[in-house]
Amino acid sequence: MSAAALTAPVAADRADGRIGLRANLRHIGALVRRNAMQIKQDPESMFDVLLMPIMFTLLFVYVFGGAISGKGNQDVYVNYVVPGLMAMMGLNIAMAVGTGINDDFRKGVMDRFRTMPIARSSVLIAKIVVEVGRMVIATAILLGMGFLLGLEIKTSVLGLLAAVGLSLLFGASLTWIFILLGLTMKTAQAVQGMAMLVLVPLQFGSSIFSPPSTMPGWLKTFTDYNPLSNLADAARALINGGPVAESVWMTLGWTAAITVVTAPLAVAKFRRKT
């Protein structure tokens, strides 16, 4: 993506040194196209999106399904685990944006962007837009696998779409955390290592794979306050039926809190990073 495509014409959209909304949206669009072209040139970067939902669904349904729901009752477990995996997809995919932005700084790409008269937030927002697109593809594949293995929608199509939308919204907020990690850590390997320290306890200390009622008290307490548990419970209620309001509002609260705290920190770190 050329510098001219990003910066022209910005003068008409600037006032008192500030970039107007129209110019900001144009810059985000240009950067989204640039990031999408990178994926087109490197299709291997989509392997996680295409293969991870298939691998996770098969492994967890046939490894944990019999143990949790009883031998031969894996179809029951599908309706439990697939909504939970929707929460897990966003977390795993969001991790890639941290390593990507760290690598862009190492290559000098971000230094070039910061010399242009564009909003600093537009660079980061464009990254998030592309990652949300990747989450959409991963979620579609996950649901496709779920339907093949016996997933049933016991509420309505609107309930399913609400569960998908909630998962994408929460996943988008998580990308700010990994962007901040990518801007803070010195290497992509360090970003991956720190991300795993976040991923493992959040994923397995949650209600994604098994009911918290089977866990010891101290772990159940952690699980009850784990945002991934709230999202998994909300997605299950929207797909399978049951009380939905509390888990949905908790997920929306976590989404807003994560974004409000980490987005300004990430933008400020992006401005200062050398």
Domain ranges of the chain: 19-272
Average pLDDT, the chain: 83
Q: Which residue has the higher pLDDT, 246 or 217?
A: 246
pLDDT per residue over 205-221, tens digit each? 888 888 888 888 888 88
* pLDDT reported for residue 70: 62
**Are 124 and 104 in contact, with CB atoms under 8 Å apart?**
no
Q: Which residue has the higher pLDDT, 172 or 91?
A: 172
Q: Residue 57 is encoded by which pair of tokens?
A: 């669904």
245-272 helix and 120-148 helix, angle to the nearest 10 degrees: 140
Name, of 12-16, 75-79, 122-126, 156-160, the range with top average pLDDT. Answer: 156-160
Indicate whether 10 pLDDT > 50. no
Q: pTM above the 0.75 mark? A: yes
Which run of H or of E encompasses 14? strand 14-15
Mean pLDDT is lowest, of 9-13, 41-45, 206-210, for: 9-13
